[in-house]
Amino acid sequence: MITLAVVAGTCVLVAGIRVVAGRRLASWTLHVDVGAATACISVLAVVGVAGDVPFADLYVWVVLFAALYFRPLGALAHVAAAGTAYALVLAFGPGIAAPVQAWFGVFGTAGVAGAIVLGLVSVLRSAAADDPLTGCANRRSWDERLEEELERSRRTGQPLSIAMIDLDAFKTVNDRGGHRAGDLLLQDVAQRWRGTVRDGGDFLARLGGDEFAILAPGSDETGIRRLGKRLAEALPAGISASIGVATWDRTESAGALLRRADQAMYKTKQRRPYEGFHSA
């Protein structure tokens, strides 16, 4: 009873901290919580062994939580840790008649349930991260990736540049051919640009309407201008775009960097005849 009380008290304390300060805690602390939960369940499983292991069913919740909140590799790591912990409980704890069947009974259920949850979460994450029309990343993904790349550039010292792109006279395309024509043009442009950017390096997103953006880690001002030129050359015949580029000055925020590139893009759009793109 003392062991159960200690474990229960620990769980209540951790849960209270998570409720009160959850939003202020780093995301990696969730891994600590799940690891602690696995340890507590293992203690309860040892205490509860009596021909079967009733507390071991709680491992299923560890697997479900990991599948719901963590990326596949992180979730798999927690499932492996929980499975190993339960195997150790069965091997070195008070003996039961059929330890192998007991292990598969718990983790067979946990594995199936976890795989279903992970699959559903993957579909939802993809839907939340991608633009359904063009297949490019959406604004939410762009904002998250920009912050990540700024932090990486801050650590490594590598340059980071962005390009803001707006198709010229896109409204005219919609007016003449209808919204279907506009959608087909956006899809065509996105496909062409995906073949132009660096695989695994540059990050292409559709921010909304006919506005796109590209994040180019490792590219300085010269590199992003070259990329902007390739993007302009890849456009379909008769279509032009206003492109504004900016290279991070290593002090400004993500919002300030975006504003510089956006201002450069509008300077390009205001120039006539069309002159390609402008940098800030």
User: Could you tell me if residue 80 is inside a domain?
Assistant: yes
Say whether both 115 and 151 belong to one domain. Answer: no
Q: Are 230 and 196 in contact (CB under 8 A)?
A: yes
pLDDT over threshold 60, residue 42: yes
| Catalytic-labelled residue, pool 210, 220, 249, 262 | 210
pLDDT at 51: 43
Flag whether pLDDT at 280 surpasses 90.
Answer: no
Q: Are residues 115 and 144 in the same domain?
A: no
Domain with 102 in it: 2-129
197 and 228 share a domain? Answer: yes
What is the SS3 assignment for 233-266? Answer: HCCCCCCCEEEEEEECCCCCCHHHHHHHHHHHHH
What is the four-CA torsion angle of 44, 80, 76, 106, rounded to 10 degrees? -50
Say if 175 falls within a structural domain: yes
Phi first, then psi, for residue 172 (nearest 5°) are -65, -40
Confidence bin at 129 (pLDDT 50/70/90): low
168 assigned to active site: no
CA distance 7 to 11: 6
Sign of CA dihedral 224, 229, 235, 239: positive
DSSP category for residue 129: H
Indicate if 155 and 70 belong to the same structural domain.
Answer: no
Are residues 203 and 175 part of one domain? yes
Q: What's the total number of domains in the chain?
A: 2
Residue 236 shares a structural domain with residue 261 = yes
Number of C-beta neighbours around residue 226 at 10 A: 13
Q: What is the DSSP string of 15-29?
A: HHHHHHHGGGS-TTH
Helix axes 29-48, 59-69, angle to 10 degrees: 170
Final residue of a structural domain among 88, 107, 129:
129
What pLDDT sits at residue 274?
47
Q: Does residue 134 fall inside a structural domain? A: no
pTM: 0.59
CATH of the domain at 162: 3.30.70.270
